[in-house]
Amino acid sequence: MLSAERIMQRCAALAQHSELAGGLTRVFLSPEARAANEKVLGWMREAGMQAKLDAIGNVAGRYEGSRPGLACLMLGSHLDTVRDAGKYDGMLGVITAIECVSALSAGNRKLPFAIEVIGFGDEEGVRFGTTLLGSRAVAGIFDREVLNMKDAGGVTMADALRDAGLPPEGISTVARKKGEVLAYAELHIEQGPVLEAEGLAVGVVTAINGFSRLRVTLRGTAGHAGTVPMNLRRDALAGAAECVLATERIARSHPEVVGTVGRIEAKPGAINVIPGEVMFTVDVRAPQDPLRNATVDAIRAHIQKVSRERKLDCHIETLQEFGVTACAPRLMEQMERAVARQGFRVRRLPSGAGHDGMALGAISEICMLFVRCKGGISHSPLESISEADAAAGAKVLFDFIEHFQT
- Give the shortest CB-262-to-Zn ion separation in angstroms: 17
Q: Least distance (Å) from Zn ion to the CB of residue 63?
A: 23
Site track for Zn ion across 88-127, x = CB under 5 A:
-xx-------------------------------------
Name the minimum Å distance from CB 94 to Zn ion. Answer: 10
Phi/psi zone of residue 338: left (φ > 0), alpha (ψ -120 to 50 degrees), beta?
A: alpha
**What character string, x for contact with Zn ion (CB under 5 A) and - otherwise, covers 52-91?**
-------------------------------------xx-
- Dist. CA 329–CA 334, nearest whole Å: 9
C-alpha to C-alpha distances, 290 to 282, 299, 304, nearest whole angstrom: 18, 14, 21
245-304 residues in contact with Zn ion (CB under 5 A) are none
- DSSP states of 209-260: PEEEEEEEEEE---EETTTS-GGG---HHHHHHHHHHHHHHHHHTSTT-EEE
Which is nearest to 216 in space by CA: 243, 191, 254? 243
Please report how close the Cβ of residue 78 comes to Zn ion at its closest, in angstroms. 6
Q: How far lies 103's CA from each of 48, 52, 249, in Å?
A: 10, 20, 50
Closer Cβ to Zn ion, 90 or 119, answer by number = 90
| DSSP SS3 for 128 | coil
Write the binding mask 187 to 216 for Zn ion: x where contact by CB under 5 A, - elsewhere.
------------------------------
Number of residues lying near Zn ion (CB under 5 A) = 2
Query: Is the CB of 89 or the CB of 122 nearer to Zn ion?
Result: 89
What is the rounded (10 degree) CA torsion for 86, 348, 208, 396?
60
Considering the complex, state which of residue 63 and residue 120 has its C-beta at the smaller distance from Zn ion: 120
Cβ 123 to Zn ion shortest distance, Å: 6
88 vs 94: CA distance, rounded Å: 10
- For residues 234 and 285, which CB has a smaller minimum distance to Zn ion in the complex? 285
| Torsion (CA) 39, 40, 46, 52 in degrees, nearest 10 | -110
Min CB(357)–Zn ion separation in Å: 11
Q: Give whichever of 218 and 324 is closer to Zn ion, judged by the CB atom.
A: 324
CB-CB contact of 133 with 144 (8 Å): no
CB of 192 to Zn ion, least distance (A): 12
Identify which of residues 49 and 94 has a Cβ nearer to Zn ion in the complex: 94
Q: Which stretches of the chain bind Zn ion, using CB under 5 A?
A: 89-90
